[in-house]
Amino acid sequence: MKKGFIFDLDGVLCFTDIYHFKAWKVIADRLGLPFDEKVNDRLRGVSRMESLRIILSLGDKTYTDEEQLAMATEKNEIYRTLLNEMKPSDVSNEVRETLEELRNRGYKLSIGSSSKNTPTILEKTDLAKYFDAVSDGNNITHSKPDPEVFLKGAQFLGLEPSECYIVEDAEAGIDAGVAGGFTTIGIGPAAMYSKTHHPISTFKDLLNYAK
């Protein structure tokens, strides 16, 4: 019997995935790399430095660790400028009402995001109040597809992985959920992924799994 839901943030609760794309595009364009939305899909759920490695692999030049760190730092500065514009209305009523209803039905809710910017996003969008726990890029050493962020989320909720659903838009996130022994629910690109246990087409469909 399930007792909790662990939510990815970017691309599930809010659409910061578009901001990630815009910020990486500045760096990729300057380097002359063919970075498009298809490549961007491969960055979903993976850490900042791993995202950069994927983008740089589009070309054949190598960069020192210092150069790579400078690029990732610049991307994050651009991304944070975009985040600054975020406001509560950037989260849909459908998401808010569904989170509220899951709480009313007695489920424990946690965030399970690779992003180190999670606290800023939760604050800007006024989403923090729905969650009993937050597991994010600041409390992990291995990013998705490693299950660490979800295992910590379950632990923070006091639940076993078998008692939690993972809600994800990324293949890397579904892989992480499966590896951790969770039941996965996929939305957006993850709804089309073969390893997803339960695909959904819209956020409120989650209520079908929360009797």
Q: Which is nearer to ligand BG6, 31 or 210 (CB)?
A: 31
Among 27, 43, 102, 134, binds ligand BG6 (CB under 6 A): 43
> Is 175 part of the annotated catalytic residue set?
no
Among 2, 31, 68, 76, binds ligand BG6 (CB under 6 A): 76
Please report how close the Cβ of residue 1 comes to ligand BG6 at its closest, in angstroms.
29
Task: Rule CB under 6 A: say whether 124 interacts with ligand BG6.
Answer: no
Alpha carbon distance 82, 77 (integer Å): 9
Span interacting with ligand BG6, options 54-62, 91-99, 113-121, 175-183, rule CB under 6 A = 113-121
Position 129, amino acid: K
Task: Rule CB under 6 A: say whether 135 interacts with ligand BG6.
Answer: no
> Is 8 part of the annotated catalytic residue set?
yes
User: Any bridge partners for residue 5, and if so which?
Assistant: 109, 165
Compute how many residues bind ligand BG6; rule: CB under 6 A: 17
Please report how close the Cβ of residue 211 comes to ligand BG6 at its closest, in angstroms.
29
Q: Which residues contact 164 (CB under 8 A, 6 or more apart)?
A: 2, 3, 4, 5, 6, 110, 150, 153, 154, 157, 182, 183
Alpha carbon distance 161, 183 (integer Å): 8
Torsional class of 120: left (φ above 0), alpha (ψ -120 to 50), beta (otherwise): alpha
Q: Give the residues lining the site for Mg ion (CB under 5 A).
A: 8, 10-11, 44, 169-170
Alpha carbon distance 57, 70 (integer Å): 17
Task: Rule CB under 6 A: say whether 152 interacts with ligand BG6.
Answer: no
Q: Which is nearer to Mg ion, 16 or 28 (CB)?
A: 16
Helix count (H) and strand count (E) of the chain? 8, 6
Cis peptide, bond prior to residue 34, ω within 30 of zero: no
Query: Which residues contact ligand BG6 (rule: CB under 6 A)?
Result: 9-10, 20, 43-48, 51, 76, 113-117, 137
Residues serving a catalytic function are: 8, 10
